């Protein structure tokens, strides 16, 4: 069961400008998520780590939100960022953690 997404304004603009392309992108995302055994919270934490690795602030925000919606705790999200230090380096992991905190600071969950 797909949860309601909360798209950001830029994404909404792109959806209006390029509806077919964004629909295809969403369909690809759904197909990839449904193609294997990794689901929910774990899948979102993996995607969050990938977003951090490529230094995509918007994607870190999005996957942090989605991970929380899937039941990830603030501690699990922070630990995900911490685990990246030896892979992507402290400055990049620290920046990604700061972006995740943008979302976590607005979240009531632990």
Q: What's the rounded Cα separation, in Å, for the pair 89 and 8?
A: 28
Q: Which residues contact 69 (CB under 8 A, 6 or more apart)?
A: 3
Contact criterion met (CB below 8 Å) for 48 and 80: yes
- Report pLDDT digits (tens) over 65-98: 999 999 999 999 999 999 999 999 999 999 999 9
| Residue 1 pLDDT | 34
CB 69 within 8 A of CB 98: no
**Global model pTM greater than 0.95:** no
Architecture of domain 40-110: Up-down Bundle (1.20)
- Average predicted confidence (pLDDT) for the chain: 91
| pLDDT for residue 2 | 42
Q: How confident is the model at residue 7 (pLDDT cuts 50, 70, 90)?
A: low
- The DSSP secondary structure of 18-54, one letter per residue, reads -HHHHHHHHHHHHHHHTTSS--HHHHHHHHHHHHHHT
What are the extents of the domains in the chain?
9-38, 40-110
Specify the range with the lowest mean pLDDT, choosing from 28-32, 50-54, 105-109. 105-109
């Amino acid at each position: 069961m797909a949860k309601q997404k909360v798209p950001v304004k830029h994404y909404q603009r792109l959806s209006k400008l390029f509806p077919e392309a964004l629909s295809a992108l969403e369909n690809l995302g759904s197909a990839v998520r449904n193609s294997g055994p990794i689901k929910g919270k774990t899948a979102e934490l993996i995607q969050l780590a990938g977003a951090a690795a490529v230094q995509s602030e918007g994607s870190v925000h999005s996957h942090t939100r989605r991970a929380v919606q899937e039941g990830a705790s603030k501690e699990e999200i922070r630990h995900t960022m911490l685990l990246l230090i030896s892979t992507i380096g402290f400055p990049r992991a620290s920046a990604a953690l700061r972006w995740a905190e943008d979302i976590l600071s607005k979240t009531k969950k632990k």
